């Protein structure tokens, strides 16, 4: 099956996105007292998530980190937030097929259950060796969701707005 036909076979309206290592570069910026100061999100991902939402997709940001900033980011882009470390419990909470984007070992169960799975360049080997994984030409925190959207548009899986 070619990549194009694999993309065309997917019937889903849900996208699961890992936060740290996909939406961000995975770095934690901490103050001297140990509190998290900030994380950086790429504006291309803001646009891409909003475009997925505008197309009728339910976008769920999945993270193990309860940092309050991610709650604000999710609300800003129109995504749901799911705080969970063990992503093996994710699929049973939702019905139907989904698209998933992840980068590290904790994301493997979410990616393995996806109809379409994506990872950024430099993702952990436990992710890049998952059968059928699509590695986009973009590093963590540098517009990964945008690269996934572009890939789906390029294959004809999504029509332009």
- pLDDT tens for residues 99-112? 999 999 999 999 99
Q: Which of 70, 67, 92 is nearest to 79 (CA)?
A: 70
Q: Which of 75, 68, 57 is nearest to 15 (CA)?
A: 57
CA separation for the pair 135, 156 (Å, rounded): 18
CA separation for the pair 117, 95 (Å, rounded): 17
CA dihedral defined by 142, 145, 150, 151, rounded to 10 degrees? 110
The encoded tokens of residue 37 equal: 């100061």
Instruction: Kindly report the length of the chain.
Output: 161
CB atoms within 10 A of CB 40: 10
Chain segment 63-114, per-residue pLDDT in tens: 988 888 999 999 999 999 999 988 888 877 777 789 999 999 999 999 999 9
Mean pLDDT of 134-139: 96
pTM comes to 0.89
CA separation for the pair 61, 59 (Å, rounded): 7
* Degrees to nearest 5, angle at CA 146 with 161 and 19: 130
The hierarchical CATH code for the domain 3-154 is: 3.40.50.1000
| pLDDT category of residue 3 using cuts at 50, 70 and 90 | very low
CA separation for the pair 75, 55 (Å, rounded): 17
């Amino acid at each position: 099956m070619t990549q194009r036909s694999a993309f065309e076979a997917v019937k889903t309206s849900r996208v699961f996105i890992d936060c740290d290592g996909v939406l961000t570069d995975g770095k934690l910026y901490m103050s001297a007292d140990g509190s998290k100061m900030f994380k950086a999100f790429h504006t291309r991902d803001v646009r891409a998530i909003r475009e997925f939402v505008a197309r009728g997709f339910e976008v769920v940001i999945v993270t193990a980190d309860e940092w309050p900033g991610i709650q604000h980011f999710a609300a800003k882009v129109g995504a749901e937030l799911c705080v969970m470390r063990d992503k093996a419990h994710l699929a049973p909470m939702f019905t139907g097929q989904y698209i998933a984007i992840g980068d590290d070992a904790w994301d493997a169960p979410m990616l393995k259950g996806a109809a379409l799975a994506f990872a950024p360049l430099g993702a952990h080997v436990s992710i890049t060796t998952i059968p059928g994984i699509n590695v986009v030409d973009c590093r963590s925190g540098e517009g990964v969701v945008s690269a996934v959207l572009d890939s789906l548009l390029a294959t004809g899986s999504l029509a332009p707005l």
